A and B are shown apart, each in its own frame.
Chain A
Amino acid sequence: MSVVEARRLLVRYGGNPKPTLEEISFSIPRGSVYALLGRNGAGKSSLVRCLLGQQKPAAGSCFLLGEDVWKNRARLMAKVGVVPEDPDAPPSMTARQLSAFCAKVYPSWDAPSVEARLARFGVPAGTPYGSLSKGQRALVALALSLASSPELLVLDDPTLGLDAVARRAFFEELVGELADRGTTVLLTSHDLAGVESMATRVGMLKGGRLILDEDLETLKGRFRRLRYANEATEDPTNYGQELSDFDAVRVKVRGWGIEAVVSNYGDESFAKFTALEGVMDAEASALSLEEIFLAVVGEPAGKERA
């Protein structure tokens, strides 16, 4: 059973004719760490709010743990931990008071774990939430989100604006939690390096559409950067049919030759490619998640001169 499922989700704001989210459908299997990526304004936070039952989509529906989240939000939230993009806890309350408040409304609440995590993070438990730094607020939110032993953890760009130390603390705690309990995670983030170390599956939003949704390993396996010298023509930009077997996401003409990012890399195809007349010194290198993201989402596909 999928822990998270979205069916033909449509979100539209005001009189804007173009929907923010257009017929989004995807699911997250139990135990997965799903990284939802996209540029600013791609609709990630809208999607998260819909998935948490905080916002009603114009069409479509969302399910958490097999139940319609709009109808059963209150019950489902007992099994979901949330770290929001913007710190939304009452600013006058201390982390300790927030924990005490949550203890009254959750069926089970591990208050000592909150204290322990805050101590590990070095966040004062007696300081009002509004007086904490943004990084500290994110860590408080993470500590609170984990105290109910959730089956699903939803993290909406939790490390946005955090310094490297706070970011590291955040992800270390998260990795530890995942190792301990195997919690399903839905994560949106711009920190692609941090995400890459944890994610098992990736979705990419662009222009209101989910243009990519697959396991990270598969994704990384099919994306490669190809570099080669093109001697087939005198003009290096006038490359010909040598990339025809590949789905070239991006092609750049460099001084020394051509650099292409392909999304359907295969060893056999590459061997055939290197044997083509005019293709010299071809090499294929793996891409990081960030490079794949930039290639897929960053700019329109095509060729350019560097």
Chain B
Amino acid sequence: MKGTLAVAAREIAERKLLFLGALVAGLLPLGFPLLPVLRGNSRDARSVAVLLLAATIAVAFPLVLGATILVGDIAQKRLGFYFSRPLPAASIWAGKLLGSLLISVGCAFLAAAPVIFVEGESAFSSDTGGLGSRGPLVLALPGVLVLFLLAHVVASMARLRSAWIVLDFILAVVFAVAIALSLRSLFLAGVWDLDEMKHPPETIAWWLTAPIIAALLAASYVQVADGRTDARRSHGALSATLWGLMALLALPLAGLAWWVNAATPKDVIAIEGGIQSAPRGSWVVLAGKVRSRGAAGAVFLYDTASGRYVKLHGSGEVAFSADGARAAWFEEKGFFERKRNGALQIASLDSAKPVSIGSDLQTDAWMPFVLSPSGRRFAALEGDKVLSVYDLADPAHPKQLVAVKLPASAVSRRLSFSGESSLRVLPMIFRNDPGATGNAEMLELDIPSKKIQPTGRFDSAVLPRLRASADGSRLIGVRETRLTLRDGRTGALLAVLSEDLENPRLRFLSGGRIAVTGVADGKGILKIFLESERTPSRAIELGPAANVVLGGEIAPGRVAVALNPFRSNDETARKAWKLAVVDVTDGNVDSHFSGLVPADRFSWWFSPILSPAEAGSPASKLFLDADGALVRLDPASGKQEILLGGKR
């Protein structure tokens, strides 16, 4: 310690004029009130000037000292003076480091000291035009340390001029890329979900930076302790230590990133929210937290029949063809972006081993997209302005068929194919924008003629949330408790199906029937309509409930409905679901299953298209249990088979 302080004191003594210079420079702003040009706002100008001065010193001094103090001694063969004294290498290293830090921080403080002395506590008050909070001052020391070490390492590599510099350059690029890609991968996987962070981002940033600072510190120490006066060996010691430690940091990080991203559907602990099922077949999209991977989640296209899967590196928004044999989605292109912009991916789900084909279609904007019923065409609405249709005969190179500019709209839009040649644009209102005013048009694009024309019009003030039936012939609209059935092309009102149910849900059933559920007077209600009827052919009271979820037609004429006495989605509520299988013909409730809720609740929020009416479809038999497991229910035997997850 004595040696460290002696070396530090020597460094400081050699540069004592810097302190005087900083103090004098810090005194100059006190004279601002004397300058006529600054009268009136001299206090602000003084604070800004002092801030700039102190910040410049706090940045420039460690950079200059880091590039000269130790490296200069080694390069100019002056370190022998210290090594021929009874000074441990640690004292020489620590003394030089300490001296540099004290010079940098001390000079920055001296530059700010006169204003702080004159202003007192108000110097730190940003309200009064002062220096702002003490936060930056608290961060000054580690910041100065980082700058010093970086300058030292870079200067060592450049000035000591050994062959190690080639390796330095290569490894710097390799590790920078490896660490950045690993962090990106972990970030995109949601390992660090900033919304769920217990600690502020600055703390997390320091956690990530601390190992790099430690590596820089260790490398510079070993450089002095092992290299001593031998410049070549000194450079070698620095590089070997630095890159060795960086490897210790980067390799586990890369391993962690690989492991987190190597999760398969079998690693899913609990499925979040629900699933989106393909219109036909057994493929679903599911997302959930994965086992032993922190907050990381994963999204999969998963075949509930065979267990085949495709991992999605995106938000999980997937468009299916009508037969469920082709899926399309976007994968992230940006480095730390979690939006769905990126490159279009296409997968043929009917192949033995489905893989995604990255296309050269990319977008920088968030946009709705949809596949045609055959899956051979893809449409996207970019920036709510340009509607494009692509031919996917060659999935890797989509060919643009149409690109038309849409008229301005007061609300958002969604897309829905009506056959292969016609594309509909639906106005879409969201909960966070209920007060939008102006016209909201329904549009129809005729793809062969490339002509677009309005087919219907809504006042956006009363625009319901619209979803199309699978064949596009009808729309359902929901606004608060009012559930309406509308014409699929014009949006014209066909029938008001419900006005008294809270949170009404609808499904098209086989035989042209329609099921509607909701809550009325604390009871779950199921209403069955024939398509031609405006009043329900049957209204079935299901019992006390605060929340009702309508499932599919689990078997011909039998609809799954889950009831819950709670509105929340906490653990108590999850365990409280009770599934009823209702015979829509006679109104009998055949059986109850505790803890089960339909997995495909109402399609995912972004999908404008409802599931097709199909009795006994694979998707209709999928449920989530209280632990978030995906369960297949055999309606005949009541047998439950856990497909995925279940260990929340």
Q: State the A residues within 8 Å of B (CB).
A: 13-15, 49, 52-56, 73-78, 80, 82, 84, 86, 88-90, 92-93, 97, 101-102, 104-107
B1-28, CB under 8 A of A: which get 1 and which 0? 0110010001001100000000000000
The chain B residue sitting closest to A89, CB to CB, is B81
- Asked if B189 CB lies within 8 Å of chain A CBs, one says no
- Asked if B462 CB lies within 8 Å of chain A CBs, one says no
Q: Is B80 in contact with A88, judged by CB distance below 8 angstroms?
A: yes
How far is the CB of A276 from the nearest CB of chain B, in Å? 55
Contacts of A78 in B (CB 8 A): 86
Q: Is B2 in contact with A52, judged by CB distance below 8 angstroms?
A: no
Contacts A54-B230, A86-B77, A88-B78 given; does A74 touch B14 at CB 8 Å:
no
Contacts of B2 in A (CB 8 A): 104-105
Across the A-B interface, give the 6 residue pairs with the lowest CB-CB distance, nearest first. Answer: A82-B84, A78-B86, A104-B6, A54-B229, A88-B81, A74-B88
Additional A-B contact list (7), CB under 8 Å, known A53-B228, A90-B81: A13-B232, A55-B229, A55-B230, A90-B10, A93-B14, A102-B85, A104-B6
- Asked if B87 CB lies within 8 Å of chain A CBs, one says yes
CA distance A77 to B229 in the complex (A): 15
CA distance A124 to B228 in the complex (A): 31
Query: Which of A52, A56, A89, A105 meets B6, CB within 8 Å?
Result: A105
CA distance A145 to B112 in the complex (A): 43
CA distance A286 to B163 in the complex (A): 50
B216-259, CB under 8 A of A: which get 1 and which 0? 00000000001011101100000000000000000000000000
How far is the CB of A302 from the nearest CB of chain B, in Å? 38
Instruction: Please list 12 pairs of residues, one from A and one from B, whose beta carbons are closer than 8 Å in the complex, sorted by A's number.
Output: A14-B232, A54-B83, A54-B228, A54-B229, A54-B230, A56-B226, A76-B86, A84-B84, A97-B13, A102-B85, A105-B85, A105-B87
Query: Which of A14, A54, A97 meets B163, CB within 8 Å?
Result: A14
Contacts of B501 in A (CB 8 A): none
Q: Is A77 in contact with B84, judged by CB distance below 8 angstroms?
A: yes
B460-500, CB under 8 A of A: which get 1 and which 0? 00000000000000000000000000000000000000000
Q: Is B229 in contact with A49, judged by CB distance below 8 angstroms?
A: yes
- Chain B interface bracket (under 10, 10 to 19, 20 to 34, 35 or more): 20 to 34
- Asked if B287 CB lies within 8 Å of chain A CBs, one says no
Contacts of A13 in B (CB 8 A): 232
Contacts A75-B86, A88-B77 given; does A56 touch B163 at CB 8 Å:
no
Query: Which of B10, B86, B163 meets A74, CB within 8 Å?
Result: B86
CA distance A90 to B77 in the complex (A): 11
Contacts of A86 in B (CB 8 A): 77
Contacts A14-B163, A88-B77, A90-B81 given; does A105 touch B86 at CB 8 Å:
yes
| CB < 8 Å A-B pair total | 77
B544-561, CB under 8 A of A: which get 1 and which 0? 000000000000000000
How far is the CB of B287 from the nearest CB of chain A, in Å? 57
How far is the CB of A53 from the nearest CB of chain B, in Å? 7
Contacts of B58 in A (CB 8 A): none
How far is the CB of B167 from the nearest CB of chain A, in Å? 14
- Asked if B89 CB lies within 8 Å of chain A CBs, one says yes
Q: Is A92 in contact with B86, judged by CB distance below 8 angstroms?
A: no
Q: Is A52 in contact with B85, judged by CB distance below 8 angstroms?
A: no
CA distance A74 to B13 in the complex (A): 24
CA distance A163 to B79 in the complex (A): 27
Contacts of B91 in A (CB 8 A): 74
Contacts of A52 in B (CB 8 A): 83-84
Q: Is A55 in contact with B6, judged by CB distance below 8 angstroms?
A: no
B59-82, CB under 8 A of A: which get 1 and which 0? 000000000000000000111110
How far is the CB of B72 from the nearest CB of chain A, in Å? 11
Query: Which of B14, B83, B232 meets A73, CB within 8 Å?
Result: B83
Q: Is A74 in contact with B229, judged by CB distance below 8 angstroms?
A: no
How far is the CB of B21 from the nearest CB of chain A, in Å? 16
Q: Is A55 in contact with B233, judged by CB distance below 8 angstroms?
A: yes
Q: Is A77 in contact with B86, judged by CB distance below 8 angstroms?
A: yes
Contacts A75-B86, A107-B86 given; does A90 touch B78 at CB 8 Å:
yes
Contacts of A55 in B (CB 8 A): 228-230, 233
How far is the CB of A80 from the nearest CB of chain B, in Å? 7
CA distance A78 to B85 in the complex (A): 7
